[in-house]
Chain A
Amino acid sequence: MTTASDNATRAGYFGPYGGQYVPETLMAALEQLSAEYDKAMGDPGFRGDLDRCYREIAGRPSELYFCRRLTEALGGAKIYLKREDMNHTGAHKINNTLGQALLTLRMGKKRVIAETGAGQHGVATAMAAAVFGLDCDVYMGTEDIRRQSLNVFRMRLMGARVIGVSSGQCTLKDALNEAMRDWMGSVEHTHYIIGTVAGPHPFPAMVREFQSCIGREARKQMLSAEGRLPDLIVACVGGGSNAAGIFAPMIADASVRMIGVEAGGRSLNLGDHAASLSLGRPGVLHGSLSYILQDADGQTADVHSVSAGLDYPGVGPELAYWKDIGRVGYTTCGDDEAIDAVVTLSRAEGIIPALESAHAVAEAIKQAPKMKKGQILLVNLSGRGDKDCNEIASILERKGVKI
């Protein structure tokens, strides 16, 4: 076994997790990317460009919103939402694609590829490619193409090619495999914009950094609205990018409790959920060592979630590290609870959350009444639910719920 002490001090590791478990063909590109990223982060010009992109393209800062009616209805902690759903293209994913698109230009590459589950990362990549004049191919499982058809259209409208992937379960993991295979053959002129804090080093640290604008803004906004930091932050976790983005800037603030919510799916039996941190164990998938869902032989397990963006058998290595050191707690939310949370938030606040984000909302609805009045609960509302409306409508109809 590779032990924590073996890996703890190595670059690209978070405790024992992380690393670069990829074919040799990709190593040169990862080295080039690491070097360019390090250079860019030390370059005030790059940071200035990125800040301007955040402001002018993404529409940042995103608002911090107090849920008055939901708070009153639950009778506990004050509930705030970090409104990543109000970003251009409808989710937090844009924070990362803008950063990586700028790096692509710096590396002189002309083409970007991406994997997408819910389609939000694909849309954000297609948008960035359109803004900067890059060719763009997005890999997407055919099952996700079915349940996220609006996002497929949006990508195509912005000039991206959407390539259907019909291997495995035809979802996010399979799209990631196919994007990796593309990159193996195109690495000289193509940058692969991984959409989450998973994958080989430097992706986990780099994507977390690009997403940290969420937590940095939220920290400042919380201090100005309440004069103090939240008591609890809740975020949904698929690969973990929105959670890492809101957690990281407050991870050193010991008074702030944090909960990541994974997809509990249909049941907690292997194959029915996507709760890698809650129910998986350390393993290697897609370039890094982290918690994953697999069988005793090391074959990746089937996963399920009503939310295409959480439907993934792995998770970012830094989130695994936060679990082991006890800094972040992880729990699950089932498909049905997520759907209920969509309805609740829509009616209480006029905000339709993405199915992914609804997992965090559901946990907030459970936690708030257990907290004291005057305590503060911050939810990362990572995306909006427009893309899910057809899917939600058909689920509610099947359940016999009249809207």
Chain B
Amino acid sequence: MNDLKTNRLVQAFAELRAAGKKTLVPFLTAGYPDLAGTRAMLEDFEARGVRVAELGIPFSDPIADGPVIQSSYTEVLASGQRTDQVLEMVREYREGGGKLGLAAMVSYSIVFRHGVQRFLDQCSQAGVDAVLIPDLPLNEAGEVEKLARSRGLANVMLIAPTTQPPRRLEIARHSTGFVYYVSIAGITGERDRLSEATLAAVAELRTHVDLPICVGFGVSNPATVAEVCRVADGAIVGSAIVHRIQQHKDLPPAELAARIGAFVSELLAPVL
């Protein structure tokens, strides 16, 4: 069995915890506005102190995503880009010395069609550190969990506000890398603030779970990042970043990366 201790994402969280730090996990739609832009942003984020990023692999029918991420997926797919090119970009990013812990968020529709084993092989060979499959709940996840671990890949699982407490712990037990706490019952998108109930639920989970906990869905500004990081190990910001990319998508890769990087620096400020 391959050991997850050498996994970049696992190591990043271990080092952060040893240093008493929390972190920001920025989300990017892979290939939006194009793959060169995505790679430039990953490199820029790393230089600013980001340790872990989430890469959304575009899918035609993302039922957990709100309009911002959906429309970025639609646009990327219309350009003809498919999953193989995303993994190729990750490979090049690694060859260029990129060290971020990378979690690929990908629909099980894609994983199944590629073949579970083959897909996980491709991910690990390209330099992906974790898979996060939002439409593969605990009941169906056994095969992926086993095959991912044997390839040194983490399998990040999600807990929702609707998940009953005993099941929360079971999900956390099966999750590797970190466990993703979905802050609201609903789809991804920007919200101004998080409810006290969310923060209390994460704090409660914290008392039972040693694995890093990251909170996503609706985390969109430095204030919510700070709030989340009082109780969790990391805050995942998606729609707010993709929305800004949409506004500046015609800029050349380096300028786009600097522009989006500046926003990421604002988000990072509370946790650096």
Question: Contact: B60 with A23, CB < 8 Å?
Answer: no
- A181: chain B residues at CB < 8 Å are 63-66, 187
User: What are the interface flags for A139-153 relative to B under an 8 Å C-beta threshold, 1 for contact and 0 otherwise?
Assistant: 000000000000000
Question: Contact: A284 with B116, CB < 8 Å?
Answer: no
Task: Determine the distance from Cα of A28 to Cα of B112 in the docked complex, in whole angstroms.
Answer: 24
- Closest Cβ neighbor of A299 among chain B residues: B60
Task: Determine the distance from Cα of A69 to Cα of B62 in the docked complex, in whole angstroms.
Answer: 50
The answer to whether residues A300 and B109 also contact, given A2-B143, A185-B187 and a CB cut-off of 8 A, is yes
Question: Contact: B137 with A294, CB < 8 Å?
Answer: no
Question: Contact: A24 with B163, CB < 8 Å?
Answer: yes
Question: Contact: A297 with B61, CB < 8 Å?
Answer: no
User: What are the interface flags for B126-145 relative to A under an 8 Å C-beta threshold, 1 for contact and 0 otherwise?
Assistant: 00000000111111100100
* B window 83-136: CB within 8 A of A: 83-84, 107-117, 134-136
- B185: chain A residues at CB < 8 Å are 25, 184-185, 187-188
The answer to whether residues A23 and B116 also contact, given A187-B162, A187-B185, A298-B109 and a CB cut-off of 8 A, is no
A275 to chain B, nearest CB (A): 18
Point out the residue from A177, A180, A185, A298 that lies within 8 Å of B113, measured CB to CB: A298
- A167: chain B residues at CB < 8 Å are 70, 74
Question: Contact: B83 with A24, CB < 8 Å?
Answer: no
Question: Contact: B140 with A21, CB < 8 Å?
Answer: yes
- Closest Cβ neighbor of A30 among chain B residues: B137
Task: Determine the distance from Cα of A6 to Cα of B146 in the docked complex, in whole angstroms.
Answer: 14
Question: Contact: A28 with B137, CB < 8 Å?
Answer: no
Task: Determine the distance from Cα of A26 to Cα of B161 in the docked complex, in whole angstroms.
Answer: 10
Q: Tell whether A355 is near chain B: CB-to-CB under 8 Å.
A: no
- A287: chain B residues at CB < 8 Å are 135
- Closest Cβ neighbor of A22 among chain B residues: B135
Point out the residue from A21, A25, A300 that lies within 8 Å of B160, measured CB to CB: A25
Question: Contact: B182 with A21, CB < 8 Å?
Answer: no
Contact count band on A: 35 or more
Q: Tell whether A173 is near chain B: CB-to-CB under 8 Å.
A: yes
- A28: chain B residues at CB < 8 Å are 160, 162-164
Q: Tell whether A230 is near chain B: CB-to-CB under 8 Å.
A: no
A385 to chain B, nearest CB (A): 30
The answer to whether residues A27 and B137 also contact, given A181-B187, A284-B109, A297-B113 and a CB cut-off of 8 A, is yes
Task: Determine the distance from Cα of A184 to Cα of B161 in the docked complex, in whole angstroms.
Answer: 11
Question: Which of B70, B109, B114, B115 is the most central at the interface, judged by chain A CB atoms within 10 Å of its CB?
Answer: B109
Question: Contact: A23 with B63, CB < 8 Å?
Answer: yes
Q: Tell whether A377 is near chain B: CB-to-CB under 8 Å.
A: no
- B157: chain A residues at CB < 8 Å are 24
Question: Contact: A23 with B134, CB < 8 Å?
Answer: yes
The answer to whether residues A299 and B63 also contact, given A24-B159, A187-B162, A294-B113 and a CB cut-off of 8 A, is no
Question: Contact: A283 with B135, CB < 8 Å?
Answer: no
Question: Contact: A2 with B112, CB < 8 Å?
Answer: yes
- B163: chain A residues at CB < 8 Å are 24, 27-28
Question: Contact: A184 with B63, CB < 8 Å?
Answer: yes
Q: Tell whether A289 is near chain B: CB-to-CB under 8 Å.
A: yes
Task: Determine the distance from Cα of A19 to Cα of B158 in the docked complex, in whole angstroms.
Answer: 18
Question: Contact: A20 with B137, CB < 8 Å?
Answer: yes
Q: How many A-B residue pairs have CB under 8 A?
A: 129
B61 to chain A, nearest CB (A): 5
Task: Determine the distance from Cα of A177 to Cα of B61 in the docked complex, in whole angstroms.
Answer: 7
* B window 137-189: CB within 8 A of A: 137-140, 143, 157-164, 167, 171, 182, 184-187
Q: Tell whether B12 is near chain A: CB-to-CB under 8 Å.
A: no
- Closest Cβ neighbor of A7 among chain B residues: B140
- B77: chain A residues at CB < 8 Å are 299
Q: Tell whether A109 is near chain B: CB-to-CB under 8 Å.
A: no
B210 to chain A, nearest CB (A): 20
- Closest Cβ neighbor of A180 among chain B residues: B63
- B186: chain A residues at CB < 8 Å are 25, 184-185
Question: Contact: B182 with A24, CB < 8 Å?
Answer: yes
B11 to chain A, nearest CB (A): 26
Question: Contact: A21 with B116, CB < 8 Å?
Answer: no
Point out the residue from A6, A283, A296 that lies within 8 Å of B112, measured CB to CB: A283
Point out the residue from A184, A185, A295, A298 that lies within 8 Å of B107, measured CB to CB: A298
- Closest Cβ neighbor of A31 among chain B residues: B164
Q: Tell whether B82 is near chain A: CB-to-CB under 8 Å.
A: yes
Question: Contact: B83 with A297, CB < 8 Å?
Answer: yes
Q: Tell whether A1 is near chain B: CB-to-CB under 8 Å.
A: yes
The answer to whether residues A283 and B109 also contact, given A28-B164, A184-B185, A297-B84 and a CB cut-off of 8 A, is yes
- Closest Cβ neighbor of B135 among chain A residues: A21
- Closest Cβ neighbor of A294 among chain B residues: B113
- A300: chain B residues at CB < 8 Å are 60-61, 109
Task: Determine the distance from Cα of A303 to Cα of B116 in the docked complex, in whole angstroms.
Answer: 26
B43 to chain A, nearest CB (A): 26
Task: Determine the distance from Cα of A300 to Cα of B158 in the docked complex, in whole angstroms.
Answer: 24
- B109: chain A residues at CB < 8 Å are 21, 283-285, 294, 298-300
B236 to chain A, nearest CB (A): 15
Task: Determine the distance from Cα of A300 to Cα of B66 in the docked complex, in whole angstroms.
Answer: 18
- Closest Cβ neighbor of A179 among chain B residues: B63
Question: Which of B70, B157, B186 is the most central at the interface, judged by chain A CB atoms within 10 Å of its CB?
Answer: B186
- B59: chain A residues at CB < 8 Å are 298-299
Question: Contact: A173 with B63, CB < 8 Å?
Answer: no
Task: Determine the distance from Cα of A188 to Cα of B112 in the docked complex, in whole angstroms.
Answer: 30
* A window 160-181: CB within 8 A of B: 167-168, 173, 177, 180-181
Q: Tell whether A29 is near chain B: CB-to-CB under 8 Å.
A: yes
- A297: chain B residues at CB < 8 Å are 82-84, 110, 113-114
In the A-B complex, the 10 residue pairs with the closest CB atoms = A298-B113, A185-B186, A298-B110, A25-B160, A297-B82, A180-B63, A28-B162, A299-B60, A24-B160, A300-B60
**Which A residues have a C-beta under 8 Å from some C-beta of B?**
1-2, 6, 19-29, 167-168, 173, 177, 180-181, 184-185, 187-188, 282-287, 289, 294-300
CB<8 Å pairs between A and B, sample of 19: A2-B116, A20-B140, A21-B140, A23-B64, A23-B160, A24-B163, A28-B164, A168-B74, A177-B61, A177-B63, A181-B66, A184-B185, A284-B107, A294-B113, A296-B82, A296-B113, A297-B114, A298-B111, A300-B109
